[in-house]
Structure 1
Amino acid sequence: MNLTPQSPFSSKASQLLSWGHWFTFANIGLVLLISSSYLFADKAPSSALGGFYMLITWLSHTSFITFCAFVLTVFPLSLVFPYPRHIRGMAALLATFGISVLSLDAFIYFQLGYHLNLQSGPEIISLLWSKFSGSPIIACILVISFVVIVLVFELLAGNRAWRHLAELKSYKFPKYASAILVSCFAASHSIHIWADANAYFDITKQDNVLPLSYPTTAKTLLARHDLLDIKQYEQAHDISLAQTQNLFTLSKPVPSCDVPNDKSVSIVVFEHVNALDVFVNQQQLTPIRQLLQPTNHSDALFNLVYGLPAFYKNTVLEHSTPAWSSLQPLLNVVGFDRFHNIENDSAPINIISGNALESDKKIEGTIIAFSLAPQSSDAIHTGMLYSKGFDVSETLIFKQLQDITYTLVASHLNCTELASHTMLGRDLKHVSSVEGVNYTQGVLVAFKKDRITLVSQDGSYKNLSGTEGFTIEQKLDIPFLINSIKVLKKFSPEQNPH
């Protein structure tokens, strides 16, 4: 093969290489536009430095990935097969495919909280099927239109760059743009090294936001040069709860609340699904998906009665009456021996065992029903919740038992301040947060959208898809877990010093 400077082959390859850089620049702009959706999928950084890091990481990382895609696909084709018309067509098809995959990944991340991977295939297919089955014609039109628009953009960008190649070569701004992107790339990794070493979680919590993102960490870089205090680093990143004292303390006195007299609620708890099904048919209850509860029945009932994770169980049970029902009796528990002293027939919220339910007695007001999880070696179980007169936000994936109690006090009884001061849950009617935390049998349970992370006391962990149950191969999200622990320890002495 003749590759001398005078050969036509070499000239075409050189022109295609120059064209490829401009084609890549055009795609960097498109990729930046699409990848900006990742920045809105999670909570925005709370600090100016975190926001600056997010911006420069987005600019540099997406540009770098786009450039790598060009180097690995279009560049080799230009050398092996230097025919401009064919290369432009193949490059447009490859770019359209890449942009389509990126868009799908952005959609999946926005909906489920994790990126495309083989393990999450069933959940992704289920999500896409639910979107398509709702309005199949509209969905197909939107998808096909998007792909066609991207393909047209790629063809126009490729042809325009080729026809005006001589003119484009005279422009100087690519040099400045390249310098800015390289500077952003270096700055983002340097800032991440500092943030990781100093446990600055407003930055490190962004590690999993962008696809194919593996920022340089302080541990890998500084430890290599013996510049890292391992003990201090591990202490800052410790997610163990084994040594914490799970005492329950309130930072402020329990606020009072005027409760309406016509707000009766009955929560019926069954031990077996068969009995629940009969009750649901009798009362004509509406199903609510994805009730997340501990498989340990004692922990589950504690969540429901006290509105707290079982992290506080040993201490709180000594006080017997839930803090939110201490000033005025708001709770009546029937049919559970361990809560026999929490009885008040006039209380607006009634938790009733299915075994103690009187078949001939009609239940008035709002009804909520569910069955306890079947015995299992797993720490948690997802099942169904049924209700009448109890609606929840459609944006939420998982609902916990403590969320039910919190919602009833905050929204149903209009005692928001009382709920927030005494319980650890979410208002299922008004909250938009897709994150939650629990603790059962020594296992920390933290979820974000569809991803559930389970961390045992020995430090072992696994990420699961809550709706499908398969394992998600994803590294441990330390900043998210540390924030979850802070939420869990809201009522611990270190959070509420006297």
Structure 2
Amino acid sequence: MVETGNRYMDNVSKLISWGHWFSFINILFALVIATRYLVAADWPPSLLGQGYMLVSWLGHFSFLGFAFYLLLIFPISFLVPNEKAMRLIAVFIATVGTTTLLLDTQSFTLFNFHLNPLVWNYLFGGEGPQATNLLFIAIPFIFLLQLTASGLIWRNLKTLHQKKLGPVIATSLFVAFLLTHTIHIWADASYYRPITMQKANFPLSYPMTAKTFLIRHGWMQQNEQEKSNRHTHPGREIKYPLRAIEVNQPQPKMNVLLVMIDALRADMLNPTNMPALSQFAGSASTFNHHFSGSNHARLGIFTTFYGLPSQYWPDISDAYTPPILMTQLQQAGYQFGLFSGQGFLQPEHMQTSFNSIEQLNMAEPISPVYDGDTQAVKQWQQWLNQQNNNGAPWFSYLYLNTPTGMEVPPEFDGPHQPTSTMLQAQQAGPESLIKGLFNDYQNAVLFTDQQLNRVFTTLAQLSALENTIVIVTSAHGQEFDDTGNNNWGHQSNYAWAQTQVPLVIHWPGKTPIQVDKDTSHLDIVPTLMQGLFETTTASRYYTSGLNLFGPLKRDFILLGDEENYVVYQADRITEFTPKGNAYVLDRNYHELENAEPDIQVLMKVLNELRRFYPNN
């Protein structure tokens, strides 16, 4: 701050110097308010993660405070060189910014995501908590606080300048900002979840990543780092189950066979596409509106074995926490037979569902896929013959993949013609090729049905159906642009074609039922736990699902992936993104105009997704 004799420049210089200190004071205000994020967020389990949280808190809000100064107050200083007017404008800007930050902390405390139109409507639409309205009472106090700070800084500007504290403070805050991003670059490249799990804690936070750059230049090996840090440095601590499981039947005698077919749509369960399964379903319980927990294999399998929503997958996987169902089966002395032509090297099998099973098949996938399925069924038949002689109860898992590859053996005479290969040779148009692809898929489904017929025949020949629970379902569906949105395969949307799957359950001693209510993969675990082991522990302590043979009273079913929440209700689908945006669609996956998301349902969903975290 140097006197030049030019009144305009002297005023601007003084205002800029004042603006620096005013911004610093507001950084301190922001840091105090932002401690609410530290309280509401999930604290990382490691000391390094906790240290990073504090550094990023300091660095991020220092940056935000300086950015607001640079973008707003600094340019206005040149346009309004009058001291009183400029200070008043800055006080108004700071009051708005501080109030917005306070509201955002309220949003994060309630929902775990930041302020957006959806949250705003909830907080101030009459449904929000009374505490939110009380925040507005703070506005006059914030304004007076800013006004007081403005005056004190202006009166002591020369003293502050003489102490030369500015460069020291600015350097310290800048170092914290740099550390925030450089440490995150390392953590992202190293798959260090105690740090990367924090990326959405603060508003307007976009920590830097450089994983691709580091791999390209040979400075890191992706697979080695991922395997090492995901196991030794998991993310949030999870408590699963919430209580010890108590049972009335610790050693049931019933066998369990779970057949998981990848990419099997619900509408394939008919006498034309799957005659064997349709015939089997005629004397079994069929759930006609059943949904996977997600739209791809990993999370579809996870939700089946854990009975938990997909959002729990990262922390369950990182901690190598086994499913309570498998633990209970092991404690009951069950023999295990796990069969898949693709092996069990995938994380959904090796890290989670079967991480406590020693005799896991670590073989490489067999190609083509249909050969793998044929061999898996053959190995299962051989194994079952051995089990039939030793008398111990068994659990068997058979994973079939042919529908995903949409290929069948050359000698298999598929009835659905022409195939895509024929149409490509004929240079057919796009519409014909689509029909050809669907024919490929239907032929693959029919081939899979023949493998199921081998399974059912073997069970019947060994008289195993009399004491074996047989569950046939799929990890996810398969779309052929059914919604008209140019979506194919799976993992691209949450329409019925990608998420609705067959569920057939043969349970000796139970009268077969036809269920037309919405059911979910999350319901399989409580059904087995209550039906097999007669658990006395309430299902809410170990699952988010319901017993399929009990009262299915629910407001919605929950699908999604690690970040997105998808809520299926009777008349609508609502998709919530990690940032709190919501999209409301009908059950045919077409957007509903002027439809508002049900905030009360969102609150229930968020509570469900926090239940198994002990710090929430």
TM bucket (normalised to shorter chain) is 0.5 to 0.7
**8 Å Cα contact 1:92-1:155 kept in structure 2:** yes
Opposite residue 211 of structure 1, the aligned amino acid is P
CA distances 1:298-323 after superposition (whole Å, capped 9, x unpaired): 648x999987379879928996279x
Matches within 5 A, 1:166-205: 166-205=158-197
Cα displacement (A) at 1:45: 0.5
Residue by residue, what CA displacement relative to the aligned partner does 1:178-227 show, whole Å, maximum 9, x if unpaired?
A: 23222222222222122122111111111121122222213255357564
Q: Counterparts of 2:180 and 2:202 in 1: how far apart (Å)?
A: 13
User: 1-side partners of 2:120 and 2:187: how far apart?
Assistant: 33
Give the equivalent residue in structure 1 for 2:125: 129
Give the Cα–Cα distance (whole angstroms) in 2 for the partners of residues 227 and 304 of structure 1. 36
Q: Tell me what 2:273 maps to.
A: none
Separation in structure 1 between the aligned mates of residue 540 and residue 528 of structure 2, nearest angstrom:
6
- Asked if 1:84 is matched to 2:83, the reply is yes
Question: Residues 24, 57 of structure 1: CA spacing in aligned structure 2 closer, same or farther, 3 A cutoff?
Answer: same
Change (3 A) 1:150 1:56: same
Count of paired positions: 331
Number of the residue aligned with 2:40? 41
RMSD value over aligned CA atoms? 5.0
2:68 corresponds to 1:69:
yes
CA contact (8 A) 1:47 1:202 kept: yes
User: Which residue does the alignment assign to 2:397?
Assistant: 315
Match of residue 562 from structure 2: 446
2:518 is aligned with what amino acid? L
**2: CA distance, partners of 1:9 / 1:154:** 25
> Structure 1: where are the runs of 5+ without partners?
239-253, 260-293, 323-335, 346-350, 356-370, 374-379, 381-398, 428-436, 454-460, 472-483, 488-498
Q: Is the 1:60–1:185 contact (alpha carbons within 8 Å) kept by the matching residues of 2?
A: yes
> 2-side partners of 1:154 and 1:298: how far apart?
54
Greater RCO, 1 or 2 (C-alpha within 8 Å, sep 6+): 2
Residue identity in the other structure for 2:247? C
Q: How does 1:454-465 map to 2 (within 5 A)?
A: 463=577
Give the partner amino acid of 2:397: T
Q: How does 1:345-360 map to 2 (within 5 A)?
A: none
DSSP 3-state at the match of 2:561? strand
Q: 1:224 to 1:61 in 2, by over 3 A?
A: farther
Alpha-carbon offset, residue 103 of structure 1: 2.1
Name the structure 2 match of 1:52: 51
Q: How does 1:466-477 map to 2 (within 5 A)?
A: 469=584
Alignment of 1:392-403 (within 5 A): 401=523
Query: Aligned partners of 1:232 and 1:81: how far apart in 2?
Result: 58
Distance in structure 1 (CA, Å) of the matches to 2:508 and 2:15:
79
Q: 1:262 matched to which residue of 2?
A: none
SS of residue in 1 equivalent to 2:397? helix
Q: Work out the CA distance in 2 between the residues paired with 1:63 and 1:13.
A: 23
Q: 1:307 to 1:7 in 2, by over 3 A?
A: closer
| Deviation, structure 1 residue 173 | 4.0
Partners of 2:180 and 2:173 lie apart in 1 by 10
Q: Which has the larger Rg?
A: 2
Correspondence for 2:389: none
1:150 to 133, 142, 147: 142
TM-score by length of 1: 0.54
Q: 1:340 to 1:107 in 2, by over 3 A?
A: same
Residue 290 of structure 2 corresponds to which residue in structure 1?
A: 297
- Give the aligned partner of residue 257 of structure 1: 247
Report if the CA contact (8 A) 1:27-1:66 is conserved.
Answer: yes
- Which of residues 197, 203, 211 in structure 2 aligns to 1:211? 203
CA distance in 2, matches of 1:340, 1:303: 22
Shift of 1:139: 5.3
Label 1:58 to 1:236 Cα distance change in 2 as closer, same or farther (>3 A). Answer: same
Separation in 2 of the partners of 1:306 and 1:9? Answer: 72
Q: Cα gap change, 1:39/1:89 in structure 2, threshold over 3 Å: closer, same or farther?
A: same
- Aligned partners of 1:59 and 1:181 also within 8 Å: yes
| SS of equivalent residue, structure 2 residue 136 | helix
> Cα distance, 1:31 vs. partner?
0.5
Q: Say if 1:188 and 1:306 are closer, same or farther in 2 by CA, change over 3 A.
A: closer
Please state whether the residue corresponding to 2:175 is helix, strand or coil. helix
Is 1:339 matched up with 2:505? yes
2-side partners of 1:218 and 1:337: how far apart? 43
Partner of 2:28: 29
Partner of 1:415: 537
User: What is the CA deviation profile of residues 313-353 of structure 1, one whole-angstrom value per residue up to 9, with x for unaligned ones?
Assistant: 9928996279xxxxxxxxxxxxx9943425469xxxxx976
Q: In the alignment, what sits opposite 1:115?
A: 114
1:217 aligned counterpart, secondary structure: coil
What is the letter of the counterpart of residue 188 of structure 1? T
Q: Cα–Cα, structure 1 residues 408 and 146, in superposed 2: closer, same or farther, change >3 Å?
A: farther
| Maintained 8 Å contact 2:526/2:543 | no
SS of the residue 1:15 aligns to: helix
- Contact 2:288–2:515 (CA<8 Å) still a contact in 1? no
Give, in whole Å, the separation in 2 of the partners of 1:99 and 1:341. Answer: 61
Contact 1:303 1:401 survives alignment (8 Å): no
Once the two structures are aligned, what percentage of the paired residues are identical?
26
Give the whole-Å Cα distance in 2 for the aligned partners of 1:66 and 1:152: 19
Answer whether contact 1:307 1:425 (CA < 8 A) is retained.
no
CA shift, 1:112, in A, is 2.6
- Is 1:60–1:181's contact at 8 Å kept on the other side of the alignment? yes
Letter paired with 1:216: M
Instruction: Answer whether contact 2:56 2:176 (CA < 8 A) is retained.
Output: yes
The residue identity in structure 2 corresponding to 1:372 is D
- Structure 1 residues 234 and 44 mapped into 2: Cα distance closer, same or farther (>3 Å)? closer
Question: Hey, what's the Cα distance between the residues in 1 that align with 2:3 and 2:291?
Answer: 80
Report the TM-score, using the length of structure 2 for normalisation.
Answer: 0.44
The one-letter code sitting in structure 2 at the alignment partner of 1:446 is E
AA at the equivalent of 1:218: A
Distance across 1 between alignment mates of 2:288 and 2:84: 63
After superposition, the Cα gap between the structure-2 partners of 1:305 and 1:198, relative to the gap in structure 1 and judged at 3 Å, is: closer
